[in-house]
Amino acid sequence: MKTKLMTLLFAVLALGACKKEIRLDVKQITETDKTANWDVKITRPVFSSTEAEVEKSCVKFNDEITGLVNGIHAAFVEQSKESITRMDSAGMKQVAPYELIIEDTVFLADDRYISVRMLAYQMTGGAHGMTNFYGVNYDVKNQKFLDKKELVNYDKASDINALLKSHLKDPDKCFTFEAPTIENATAINFTLHTVDFTYAQYILGPYSCGYTTISVPREKMKDFILIK
């Protein structure tokens, strides 16, 4: 009997070890592109793993982030050149270098999912710059990028919207434009414990209110999320 109990104990421990979460290694890469006309600062993540199959999947994700960052950078440079050309034609001079800042927030990075939000702030003249967000969510095992409708059940929008409204933190009563919904969310990300909805400036309130992220506990979203 004792032998059987010990065998069962080792089996349970082995099963627990198999299900143990494998965290990915995350390295931050910093890049700059500074000229007389613009100043670009980029911080982006690179994921890796000692597990061969997971590492192969990480490479695919890293390539996607690299392509996204390079695309934003290239579009910014092109826009800056066009703006400078127009100003030169009008006999005007650039007051200060244009600015692009790209940075990341890693919500989750394990052998099952990667969830990253990329922020891109651009200042190309005018009263203030603009910030855009890109939610990049990835199924590591299946090497598949997930869009918003693969994360949350849009058929349950009314229930999710009620949760978003109740979890919005707005002590200054600044967000007076629209109520937060899954439809007007700029980016959706997730952790092991929350589903996070980011709203850029001008969606929920004026620019001065800034952007905001609403974090809803996954326990409350369990009937509405499509990832497990």
Contact 160, 148 (CB under 8 A): no
Alpha helices, H only, 36-51: none
Torsion of CA 207, 94, 122, 72, to 10 degrees: 150
**91-105 tens-digit pLDDT:** 898 889 999 999 999
Residues 6+ apart with CB under 8 A from 1: none
d(CA 3, CA 22): 31
Check pLDDT > 80 for residue 217. yes
Whole-structure pTM value? 0.87
Phi and psi angles of residue 86, each rounded to the nearest 5 degrees, phi first = -65, -40
Helix (H, G, I), strand (E, B) or coil at 104: strand
Contact 62, 109 (CB under 8 A): no
Report the mean per-residue pLDDT for the chain.
Answer: 91
Q: Please name which of 74, 76, 122, 130 lies closest in space to residue 99, comparing C-alpha atoms.
A: 122
> In the chain, which residues fall in CATH 3.90.640.20?
148-228
Mean pLDDT of 163-187: 95
The share of the chain scoring above pLDDT 70, in percent, equals: 91
> Which is higher by pLDDT, 15 or 45?
45
> In the chain, which residues fall in CATH 3.30.565.40?
21-146
d(CA 70, CA 201): 24
Helix (H, G, I), strand (E, B) or coil at 125: coil
Check pLDDT > 60 for residue 3. no
Report the pLDDT value the prediction gives residue 224, as an integer from 0 to 100: 96
Mean pLDDT of 44-70: 97
Residue 99: HSE in the Cβ half-sphere, 13 Å Cα cutoff: 11
Q: pLDDT grade, residue 22 (50/70/90)?
A: confident
* CATH number listed for the domain at residues 21-146: 3.30.565.40
148-228 carries CATH number 3.30.360.10: no
d(CA 135, CA 208): 23
Check pLDDT > 80 for residue 12. no
**183-210 tens-digit pLDDT:** 999 999 999 999 999 999 999 999 999 9
Q: Could you tell me the sign of the dihedral formed by the alpha carbons of 85, 92, 35, 27, in that order? A: negative
Report the pLDDT value the prediction gives residue 65, as an integer from 0 to 100: 98
Q: Please name which of 177, 168, 175, 173 lies closest in space to residue 216, comparing C-alpha atoms.
A: 168
Mean pLDDT is lowest, of 4-8, 85-89, 101-105, for: 4-8
